[in-house]
């Protein structure tokens, strides 16, 4: 696949997955514009882009802003649409904000493309959250959709817009339903980008990791470079357009992940505590997905196993601690 | 069931289904506040409320307005949440407007109830549109969800919010997925409230009804009084809370409906024309639903068959033509 001299827009490009993607695209010879609103607490971090700072154009604006989007989408070959509100708990506390970002802003982007750049490829990061509590495992794309929280409902609408705009308006969209993604450049100050960032924080700072329930809940995990590879592959695979695919990876219990992190860091500890009531209400139990459809359609194969990935992540945060744990 | 002296809010209460419901609730002894934004072209029509004009409180405001809603929901026993954008074609031409009304405004209402009136019963009018093109007939509630247009995506999100707020926050919500509803007080100036209002318009004014394709597409139909009865029953059935039910009724092809209308009116004619491209893209083929789950849980039974209903509807519009066809 080639991105040489391609014009690319990455929404949420200063955030976790976005910045890792931007760095890879620059290595691949692309011309990249980053769009990021830098909303406090949402994961945008300019240090993430330090390796490519002088090779990219950064545009600070919000995806909800029609004026900004309707200019920025023009003349782009690829748009990687990564910006989003990802905290399940935040979506319950402030549903309107989640709706604005995960629903309204998606329509703004798609309408802007429909009017001003209908030929762009748009790759969207959806989520396995829209399946809700699994009815069977592993969860494939035929599994019923049953979002367990406001975030799941809104991300579903965002994904459905992408699919619809492909079907009805002929846009070249593809959605990847991400599972737990982890690695360098993640927001780890709090648990907004998932429990794994917070576990890393606790381990790296020598604090206690709290496991809710019994810690035996199963999840599956993708290292961020594998997700970046998946997004790049999807965007260059016309047979994927108009579809939504699962990504999935190595399985482990929350306790296993915590213990690995403590071992790799050499610091931290863990304890089992009762489930907080507000989290229990939206918890989905065990979850792991089946990504064989995406693997068949693109040849994607995750390359970094959980041990390798967690080791690389802990090393990164130990080295650059001040950029991820400071004010 | 009793609504005597109950405090009731009806959103979209000056519109088609809303106004029929308001009249019935007043007959049942309730105290009714109507909320309507009177958006031009959306179906709000003060003539609809003429029979009860001095017995109700009408509040002109928009469901998207947090300030208005957060006051109006207080001290209500029942909230019938009927307001919505219902045109599939409009949702494709102006998706942002559809999203504002069918997604954002629903969150405003539910958040207002969560904070200021968590005990109210909330009955929501969802739509069979969220199933998309049927995979089997009749369509029951287990049928996969696959919205074929922006309206379907947004109404799905609105319904899912209602169900979620029941499950997580304990609100007493129930959703009814309406099929083609028709009868007095409908918007018939254009096809925004479905083809049947437009067919009535053409027949009553002696014009030509255009049938797209071959006119043999099957649909099912509910007369508005049966839908009003269903909403009232659902709101008084605690076993329904937290759920979403199909409504369904008599089946007929579009051509059969057109021919009945022409016969009952004594005016009008019909012709078969090719499917317009923009409509074909979001057409769902044959559709009829299975409402046995709702019938079992509430004892609801539609009382007005298609012939009776179409006859009553044509008589109504012939008598009150100037209130539905004028400027």
| Structural domain spans, chain B | 7-181+223-249+289-304
Residue range A42-50: mean pLDDT, rounded:
95
pLDDT in tens, B210-250: 999 889 999 999 999 999 999 999 999 999 999 999 999 99
Q: What are the phi and psi torsion angles at B25 (to 5°)?
A: -65, -40
Mutate to test the interface with B, among A129, A140, A161, A280 (most CBs of B within 10 A): A161
* Sequence-separated (6 or more) residues with CB below 8 Å from residue A225: A20, A24, A183, A303, A304
Q: Please give the CATH number for the structural domain made up of B7-181+223-249+289-304.
A: 3.40.50.720
What CA–CA distance (Å, rounded) separates A175 from A3? Answer: 19
What CA–CA distance (Å, rounded) separates A132 from B242? Answer: 16
Whether the ω angle into residue A138 lies within 30 degrees of 0, i.e. cis, is yes
pLDDT bin (cut points 50, 70, 90) of residue A112 is very high
Beta bridge partners, A250, equal A221
Look up the ipTM and state it: 0.94
Is residue A205 over pLDDT 70? Answer: yes
Which residues in chain B touch residue A281, judged by CB atoms under 8 angstroms apart? 167-168
The two three-digit tokens of residue B81, written as one number: 């949440």
Determine contact: B157 vs chain A, CB below 8 A.
Answer: yes
Determine contact: B156 vs chain A, CB below 8 A.
Answer: yes
More confident residue, B302 or A42: B302
The two three-digit tokens of residue A126, written as one number: 């959806």
| Strand (E) or helix (H) holding A253 | strand A250-253
Residue range A270-291: mean pLDDT, rounded:
89
DSSP state for residue B34 in the 8-state scheme: E
Residue closest to A287 by CA, chosen among A217, A238, A236: A217
Helix (DSSP H) and strand (DSSP E) numbers for chain A: 13, 12
Which residues in chain A touch residue B93, judged by CB atoms under 8 angstroms apart? none
Residue range B271-289: mean pLDDT, rounded:
87
The two three-digit tokens of residue B114, written as one number: 């969560």
Residue of A nearest to B100 (CA): A104
* Sequence-separated (6 or more) residues with CB below 8 Å from residue B263: none
pLDDT bin (cut points 50, 70, 90) of residue B259 is very high
Residue of A nearest to B92 (CA): A168
**Among candidates B103, B149, B157 on the partner chain, residue whose Cβ is nearest the Cβ of A164:** B149
Query: Which segment of A33-42, B23-32, B115-124 scores lowest on mean pLDDT?
Result: A33-42
pLDDT of residue A97: 96
Residue of A nearest to B101 (CA): A104
What CA–CA distance (Å, rounded) separates B281 from A282? Answer: 36
Which residues in chain A touch residue B148, judged by CB atoms under 8 angstroms apart? 164
Q: Cβ B156–A154 below 8 Å, yes or no? A: no
Q: How far is CA A49 from the centre of its chain?
A: 17
What CA–CA distance (Å, rounded) separates A7 from A120? Answer: 10
pLDDT bin (cut points 50, 70, 90) of residue B113 is very high
pLDDT of residue B279: 79
- Nearest CA of chain A to the CA of B157: how many Å? 6
CB atoms within 10 A of CB A151: 27
Mutate to test the interface with A, among B64, B102, B107 (most CBs of A within 10 A): B107
Mutate to test the interface with B, among A89, A156, A277 (most CBs of B within 10 A): A156
DSSP state for residue B98 in the 8-state scheme: H
pLDDT in tens, A136-193: 999 999 999 999 999 999 999 999 999 999 999 999 999 999 999 999 999 999 988 8
Pairing of strands B269-273, A180-182: unpaired
Q: Cβ B103–A99 below 8 Å, yes or no? A: yes
**Residues written for chain B:** 327
Is residue B281 over pLDDT 80? Answer: no
- Nearest CA of chain A to the CA of B65: how many Å? 13
**Among candidates A95, A145, A168 on the partner chain, residue whose Cβ is nearest the Cβ of B107:** A95
In three-state form (DSSP H/G/I as H, E/B as E, the rest C), the secondary structure along A51-118 is HHCCCCEEEECCCCCHHHHHHHCCCCCEEEECCCCCCHHHHHHCHHHHHHHHHHHHHHHHHHHHHHCC
* Sequence-separated (6 or more) residues with CB below 8 Å from residue A266: none
Which residues in chain B touch residue A167, judged by CB atoms under 8 angstroms apart? 281
Q: Cβ B95–A111 below 8 Å, yes or no? A: yes
Sheet holding A78-81, edge to edge: A57-60, A31-36, A7-11, A78-81, A121-127, A172-178, A243-246
pLDDT bin (cut points 50, 70, 90) of residue A41 is confident
pLDDT of residue A277: 83
Q: What are the phi and psi torsion angles at A221 (to 5°)?
A: -135, 140
pLDDT of residue B284: 84
Residue range A212-217: mean pLDDT, rounded:
91
What CA–CA distance (Å, rounded) separates A305 from A308? Answer: 5
pLDDT of residue A327: 61
**Residue carrying structure tokens 């982890």:** A182
With contact defined as beta carbons under 8 Å apart, do B21 and B10 qualify?
Answer: yes
Determine contact: A96 vs chain B, CB below 8 A.
Answer: yes
CB atoms within 10 A of CB B301: 10
Q: To the nearest whole percent, how much of chain A has pLDDT over 90? A: 92
Determine contact: B170 vs chain A, CB below 8 A.
Answer: no
pLDDT in tens, B1-38: 799 999 999 999 999 999 999 999 999 999 999 999 99
With contact defined as beta carbons under 8 Å apart, do B240 and B234 qualify?
Answer: yes
pTM: 0.95
CB atoms within 10 A of CB B47: 15
Pairing of strands A250-253, A218-223: antiparallel
What class is the A7-185+222-249+288-303 domain? alpha beta
| DSSP alpha helix (H) spans, B94-212 | 95-99, 105-116, 150-169, 195-204
Q: What is the CA radius of gyration of chain B?
A: 19
Q: To the nearest whole percent, how much of chain B has pLDDT over 70? A: 99
What CA–CA distance (Å, rounded) separates A270 from A283? Answer: 20
Rounded alpha-carbon distances, angstroms, from residue B158 to A90, B127, B150, B176, B177: 19, 10, 12, 12, 12
Which residues in chain B touch residue A108, judged by CB atoms under 8 angstroms apart? 96
Q: Cβ A96–B103 below 8 Å, yes or no? A: no
pLDDT bin (cut points 50, 70, 90) of residue B327 is low
- Nearest CA of chain B to the CA of A270: how many Å? 29
Rounded alpha-carbon distances, angstroms, from residue A248 to A63, A127, A138: 28, 11, 9
The two three-digit tokens of residue B192, written as one number: 């925004």
Is residue A213 over pLDDT 90? Answer: no
Residue range B94-116: mean pLDDT, rounded:
98
Residue range A89-118: mean pLDDT, rounded:
97
CB atoms within 10 A of CB B137: 16
Residue of B nearest to A146 (CA): B160
DSSP state for residue B104 in the 8-state scheme: I
What CA–CA distance (Å, rounded) separates A162 from A109? Answer: 10
Q: Cβ A103–B107 below 8 Å, yes or no? A: no
Q: Cβ B104–A96 below 8 Å, yes or no? A: yes
Helix (DSSP H) and strand (DSSP E) numbers for chain B: 13, 12
Determine contact: B281 vs chain A, CB below 8 A.
Answer: yes
């Amino acid at each position: 696949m080639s991105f040489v001299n391609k014009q690319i827009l990455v929404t949420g490009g200063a955030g976790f997955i976005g910045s890792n993607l931007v760095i890879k695209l620059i290595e691949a010879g692309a011309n990249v514009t980053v769009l990021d609103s830098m909303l406090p607490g949402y994961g945008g971090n300019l240090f993430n882009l330090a390796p490519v700072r002088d090779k990219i154009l950064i545009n600070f604006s919000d995806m909800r802003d029609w004026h900004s989007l309707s200019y920025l989408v023009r003349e782009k070959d690829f748009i990687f649409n990564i910006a989003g509100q990802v905290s399940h708990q935040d979506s319950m506390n402030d549903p309107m904000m989640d709706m604005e970002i995960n629903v309204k802003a998606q329509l703004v982007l798609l309408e802007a493309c429909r009017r001003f750049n209908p030929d762009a490829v748009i790759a969207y990061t959806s989520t396995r959250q829209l399946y809700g509590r699994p009815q069977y495992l592993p969860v494939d794309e035929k599994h019923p959709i049953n979002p367990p929280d406001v975030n799941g409902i809104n991300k579903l609408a965002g994904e459905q817009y992408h699919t619809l705009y492909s079907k009805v308006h002929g846009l070249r969209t593809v959605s990847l339903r991400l599972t737990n993604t982890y690695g360098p450049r993640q927001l780890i100050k709090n648990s907004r980008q998932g429990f794994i960032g917070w576990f890393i924080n606790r381990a790296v700072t020598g604090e206690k990791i709290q496991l809710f329930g019994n810690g035996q809940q199963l999840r599956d995990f993708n290292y961020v470079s594998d997700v970046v590879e998946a997004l790049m592959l999807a965007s260059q695979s016309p047979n994927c357009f108009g579809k939504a695919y699962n990504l999935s990876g190595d399985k482990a219990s929350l306790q296993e992940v915590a213990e690995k992190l403590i071992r790799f860091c050499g610091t931290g500890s863990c304890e089992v505590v009762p489930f907080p009531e507000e989290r229990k209400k939206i918890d989905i139990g065990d979850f792991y997905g089946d990504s064989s459809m995406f693997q068949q359609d693109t040849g994607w194969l995750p390359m970094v196993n959980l041990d390798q990935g967690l080791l690389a992540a802990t090393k990164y945060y130990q080295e650059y601690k001040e950029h991820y744990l400071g004010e």
